[in-house]
Structure 1
């Protein structure tokens, strides 16, 4: 492996955070003196080996993760896992970049589907394939999910806290409008339902059909691009300014500015729960909160098609840092194994709304009970085999997400044509692609 990289490339791979590293070595098993963040093993856990995990979860999800960590610590007598909250996925990524500079890093971290690739391309993650066996096999995971973290037959990122977009609708509102109790088969069918929904009144006003997020809508829009027959990119060749991507953008522009049936919202899920919109496209991880906040029955369905089906995966996964001693890597993987046990994976899914990452978790009694209690959650699991990983340019090009959702804001708020907007976005993405092309072509 190349031991040194230009500062410009390192800055790009870190997504704006400084990531100037000295060599970590191929695979990182030999250890290079990387220290752990400050902390100590509590007295009640005696002389156990300390393992540090950085995580991005807060609120109820953070509480669920804390319970899982406590259960792991109580399940054995050799390892003490210390969980350290680092903010959002992006904030965790930035802090890890700084930690690598200071040569002080956690043993294991939870990355998003985008952030893990930044560190993989920079040779700072350990390959995990050799750790499988003795109670956990790669085949235990949902095939599509484990495949996303596998590159050249090595696993680098293990599914944990995964999600996909799902289509939600207000069942009460649909019934009042005389609409079928299901999601639309196509986006055009949804548009055709607008007149019926206009006869429904919420606090004296007719609801809008749909709303699009002001920030981070590029993940949802990835599915729309596929549904209209396009791509963000083919490999590293940017294609967002052509074909189905432009068609998807124009469809959404017309729904907002010509049909007056949608708008850009700070939080579409809040507006949906308050009855301001009849339908919503949001993460499967949102379902628990929606069921709690909404005062009406919620339906869930596969994402609508247009010329074909398209749904991207998202969410988190576990990676172990290269360059730390092998005994710490092995100890960290013990938590990976623990989290994958059927009863643990199922409970994590139930507590958070994330998809069950293992096949056995889906079959557990508690998960089957969850499906019975909340049929909408079962829809998310049934849609999972039809999903796919996002296009390479969004996953691996620095700040591609910001460029894309910045373009969407111009369509949603300013009524700019999709062709005009995406031509500018494509030009920006093509320039940024140069910063990672060499690394991507080398690693993928």
Structure 2
């Protein structure tokens, strides 16, 4: 196996169980709860001293405010991005002498950085700019822990119209822009071109899962030595994210708006197809760690993995790597691809001077030129429409697949990204279905009850 590429998924892995007991996911304030959270260090949406966000964010007056001379950015370095982020910071320092940016590795993944941010709300030192993954930012919106960026965007002259519309919209709610896109990704279908050739398959990703179901036996019989034609992603990091592709393709979803629909006939059929691929067709396995590494090692013929895995796969694979858009299902072939990854937000409880300095650097960090630099080093998508991607595509033609696929992405189901802890619950249910051969309908029905409970207790009272 090759070295693991940490945190390239939108939700890299389940955190330790003690950090996600249901009591620590509650948003309702309770006496002594803040102290308990600080003691055990678990990220939570429980009261942290900040009032819940209002339905319409108020403008922030930055008139006469001078940017602070120094700010700190907290990152988990998604996609092994520490070096390229520091490179961009150094370029920022060279371009102007007034603001110094300190990069702090605040955790090895999105969960650890969220844990540290939660702890800082109780009296620690807050960052001025923080990485917020797709499944974490909304709980901090509900808590009022992050500032709406609209006023800062105007103050420093950020051209939001040049950001990819789908990626910008992922952080919009109640009339406010709560983060800006940065390390953004979509899932891709990666495959071993040599295995494809050995099986006599066309050099492309399958158009539908039904088509791949026909291809899989040919790959299994091609004499490549693999155990499985396809490797399902590690469930702890990918299940809730990538399986939206299957659910949508079958006409299902984790939820529709705020209503949980995991038990619908369509959603159950989608998960039944995956279970059958593992236990009946036996052409699919389930990664125990990182399916991108499994593919790079030649252990499987294909997988779904993040755009942010692209650079790592290309570095370590000893074969030609193919990449294509995600397959569709019997009900829909487009759009069946979710966006994912992380954006950057600004804490509310820091001085306006720091907010303005953080926004000044955020403008530079996400400029058209720097988004190409970042994408080239990590595999994440360029987030600006005006970015010149010619050199990027020339170096790694596979990167254009994600850029092209972006036009047909779909906003993620609210149950996954807006319900605190829901992603972990989805992963548990998928693990029962795909590694324990549990009854699919029963698991998806139980999941609905769990997710509905999270909504009723954690989300609905705070909207």
TM-score in terms of structure 1 length:
0.88
User: Which residue of structure 2 lines up, in the alignment, with residue 122 of structure 1?
Assistant: 143
CA pair 18-370 structure 1, distance change in 2 beyond 3 A: closer
Cα distance in 2, alignment partners of residues 19 and 414 from structure 1: 33
User: Which residue of structure 2 lines up, in the alignment, with residue 291 of structure 1?
Assistant: 314
Q: Does the 8 A contact of 1:210 with 1:277 survive in 2? A: yes
User: Which residue of structure 1 lines up, in the alignment, with residue 249 of structure 2?
Assistant: 227
The CA deviation string for residues 132-171 of structure 1, in whole angstroms up to 9 with x for no partner, is: 2454211010011111112233211100010010111111
Secondary structure at the aligned position of 2:144 is classed as coil
Cα distance in 1, alignment partners of residues 350 and 43 from structure 2: 24
Select 2:99's aligned residue among 79, 85, 88.
79
Cα distance in 1, alignment partners of residues 94 and 394 from structure 2: 31
Cα distance in 2, alignment partners of residues 206 and 115 from structure 1: 37
Select 1:428's aligned residue among 450, 454, 458.
450
Size of the alignment, in residue pairs? 416
CA pair 18-377 structure 1, distance change in 2 beyond 3 A: closer
CA pair 337-371 structure 1, distance change in 2 beyond 3 A: same
The CA deviation string for residues 173-232 of structure 1, in whole angstroms up to 9 with x for no partner, is: 111111111111100100101232123223xx3541211224222211122111111110
Structure 1 portions without partners, runs of 5+: 32-46
Q: Does the 8 A contact of 2:419 with 2:458 survive in 1? A: yes
Q: Does the 8 A contact of 1:396 with 1:436 survive in 2? A: no
CA pair 48-419 structure 1, distance change in 2 beyond 3 A: closer
Return the offset for 1:15. 7.4
User: Which residue of structure 2 lines up, in the alignment, with residue 110 of structure 1?
Assistant: 131
Return the offset for 1:110. 0.9
Q: Does the 8 A contact of 2:135 with 2:423 survive in 1? A: no
Select 1:278's aligned residue among 286, 301, 304.
301
Within-5 A mapping of 1:10-409: 16-17=43-44, 19-23=46-50, 49-57=69-77, 60-87=80-107, 88-102=109-123, 104-133=125-154, 135-202=157-224, 205-212=225-232, 213-216=234-237, 217-266=239-288, 267-306=290-329, 307-308=331-332, 309=334, 310-361=336-387, 364=388, 367-409=389-431
More displaced stretch, 253-262 vs 152-161 = 152-161
Cα distance in 2, alignment partners of residues 159 and 262 from structure 1: 33
Secondary structure at the aligned position of 1:52 is classed as strand
Question: Superposition RMSD on alpha carbons, in Å?
Answer: 2.5
CA pair 191-155 structure 1, distance change in 2 beyond 3 A: same
Q: Does the 8 A contact of 1:30 with 1:323 survive in 2? A: no
User: Which residue of structure 2 lines up, in the alignment, with residue 44 of structure 1?
Assistant: none
Return the offset for 1:30. 8.3
CA pair 359-120 structure 1, distance change in 2 beyond 3 A: same
Secondary structure at the aligned position of 1:193 is classed as helix
Q: Does the 8 A contact of 2:245 with 2:328 survive in 1? A: no
Structure 2 portions without partners, runs of 5+: 1-26
Secondary structure at the aligned position of 1:132 is classed as helix
Cα distance in 2, alignment partners of residues 375 and 439 from structure 1: 47
Cα distance in 1, alignment partners of residues 78 and 251 from structure 2: 37
Cα distance in 2, alignment partners of residues 302 and 335 from structure 1: 33
Q: Does the 8 A contact of 1:287 with 1:353 survive in 2? A: yes
Q: Does the 8 A contact of 1:355 with 1:381 survive in 2? A: yes
More displaced stretch, 72-81 vs 128-137 = 128-137
CA pair 214-124 structure 1, distance change in 2 beyond 3 A: closer
Q: Does the 8 A contact of 2:226 with 2:298 survive in 1? A: no
Cα distance in 1, alignment partners of residues 261 and 305 from structure 2: 25
Q: Does the 8 A contact of 2:59 with 2:151 survive in 1? A: no
Cα distance in 2, alignment partners of residues 53 and 376 from structure 1: 31
Secondary structure at the aligned position of 2:337 is classed as coil
Q: Does the 8 A contact of 1:28 with 1:324 survive in 2? A: no
Return the offset for 1:7. 3.1
Cα distance in 2, alignment partners of residues 407 and 252 from structure 1: 13
Return the offset for 1:269. 1.5
